[in-house]
């Protein structure tokens, strides 16, 4: 990344020029506005998203926005999963662009995520 330039637009440009976005799922990443934005950017440009993380990561999907849910996160600590992950990277992404994502409103600076209240109302 180039210093002194808008880092978010540099990340968006890199994602747009890629075939895959690999997202390392941690408890912090699941709650991260920046990870969410990167994932949205990938969807906007039809870039495939491959989540990786430990086997217990699947429990964290409850806290992710519904559109980020995924049936499988690759656990790279397991030889079979590592092989599947690298096989996936060799594939052509089969992802449709999601137009209009650039028109989504941004969260205000004082936005407070209230996931427990949201889950209680659903």
* 6 within some domain: no
Give the count of domains, the chain.
1
Confidence of residue 64 (pLDDT cuts 50, 70, 90): low
**How much is the pLDDT for 29?**
80
Residue 57 in this model has a pLDDT that exceeds 60: no
Decide if 8 is inside a domain.
no
Query: Residue 2 — pLDDT band, cuts 50, 70, 90?
Result: confident
pLDDT per position as a tens digit, 11-39: 999 999 999 999 888 878 877 888 888 98
The rounded radius of gyration (Å) of the Cα atoms in the chain is: 15
Nearest to 27 by CA among 54, 45, 48: 54
Domain residues for the domain of 36 are 19-121
Q: Are 35 and 64 in contact (CB under 8 A)?
A: no
Whether residue 62 lies inside any domain: the answer is yes
| Two structure tokens written together for 98 | 């999601």
Pair 74, 52: CB distance under 8 Å: yes
3 inside domain: no
Asked, for residue 60, whether it belongs to a domain, the answer is yes
In a domain, 32, yes or no: yes
pTM: 0.67
Count Cβ atoms within 10 A of the Cβ of residue 79 and give its class: 0-12 exposed, 13-18 middle, 19 or more buried: exposed
Asked if the structure places residue 110 within a domain, the reply is yes
Q: Is residue 87 part of a domain?
A: yes
């Amino acid at each position: 990344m180039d210093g002194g330039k808008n880092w978010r637009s540099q990340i968006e440009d890199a994602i747009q020029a890629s075939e895959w976005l690999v997202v390392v799922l941690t408890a912090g990443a699941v709650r991260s506005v920046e990870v969410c934005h990167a994932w949205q950017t990938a969807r906007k440009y039809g870039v495939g998203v491959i989540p990786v993380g430990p086997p217990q990561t699947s429990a964290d999907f409850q806290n992710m926005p519904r559109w980020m849910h995924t049936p499988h996160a690759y656990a790279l600590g397991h030889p079979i999963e590592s092989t599947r992950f690298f096989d996936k990277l060799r594939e052509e992404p089969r992802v449709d662009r999601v137009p209009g994502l650039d028109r989504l409103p941004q969260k205000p600076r004082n936005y407070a995520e209230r996931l427990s209240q949201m889950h209680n109302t659903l």
